Amino acid sequence: MYIIVGLGNPGRKYIGTRHNIGFDAITRLSDDFNISLNINKHKAICGAGYIAGQKVLLAQPQTYMNLSGESVRALADFYKVAPENIIVIYDDINLEEGQLRIRKSGSAGGHNGIKNIIQHLGTKDFPRIRIGVGQKPEEWDLVDYVLSKFSDEENKIMRIALKNASDATKVLIEEGITAAMNLYNRRVDLG
């Protein structure tokens, strides 16, 4: 079994923001694999189903970004899923808009949601799919930037990125993380 966690902040005012691209990825997976997000437990909105023949639980933690680890740990404990089968999808301001970066493990890289997950799981060894949301313009405050919404032009790019993230998740489950990294850790033409 896999737990696939998309990071974001709950509440209407955060819909469509850069920091919520992880939530958007879960919504895309829900649509692509016909998995209803209809379970509300372990501090998350979840949906159970199958991707590539494997049982999965999609999750959008409702704890706010900086406390995501509380929900991830509760889910991991309840479903008895090891960290290597917990896939975390989240935003990355160090990647160009729409570019993906898949890793087997690693540091938090300044991302507070990941930092909290590492703290709660007690390991850095869980797969992650980072979705580039573009670098912060110099004159912007970081918080204001990650909580800003995408422009119409950026939304076109992000729709392609979300499709790629969904496809990459399937490849990761079906063929392993190396195959997913080989396919998606390169510059992808986003139209």
* Domain assignment of residue 167, given as a range: 2-184
Residue 190 — very low, low, confident or very high, per pLDDT cuts 50/70/90?
low
pLDDT digits (tens, 9 = 90+) for 77-136: 999 999 999 999 999 999 999 999 999 999 998 899 999 999 999 999 999 999 999 998
Tell me if 191 is assigned to some domain.
no
Strands (E), 52-117: 54-61, 86-92, 100-103
What is the C-alpha separation between 33 and 141, in angstroms, rounded? 37
Is the residue at 34 inside a domain? yes
| 59 C-beta neighbours (distance < 10 Å), count | 28
Domain for residue 189, yes or no?
no
Question: 150 vs 55, 138, 171, 172, 185, CA distance in Å?
Answer: 33, 17, 27, 27, 23
Task: Establish if 99 belongs to a structural domain.
Answer: yes
Q: Which of the residues are catalytic?
A: 19
The candidate with the shortest Cα–Cα distance to 129, out of 157, 104, 160, is 104
Average pLDDT over the chain, rounded to whole?
95
Mean pLDDT value of segment 28-57: 97
When divided into structural domains, the chain yields a total of 1
CATH code: domain of residue 16? 3.40.50.1470
Per-residue model confidence as pLDDT tens digits over 60-86: 999 999 999 999 999 999 999 999 999
**Residue 22 neighbours by CB distance under 10 Å:** 28
Looking at the whole model, is its pTM more than 0.75?
A: yes
Q: How far apart are CA 90 and CA 111, in angstroms?
A: 9
Residue 114 belongs to some domain of the structure: yes
What is the C-alpha separation between 59 and 41, in angstroms, rounded? 10
Q: What is the pLDDT of residue 188?
A: 65
Spatial separation of the C-alpha atoms in residues 97 and 163, rounded to whole Å: 14
The length of the chain in residues reads 191
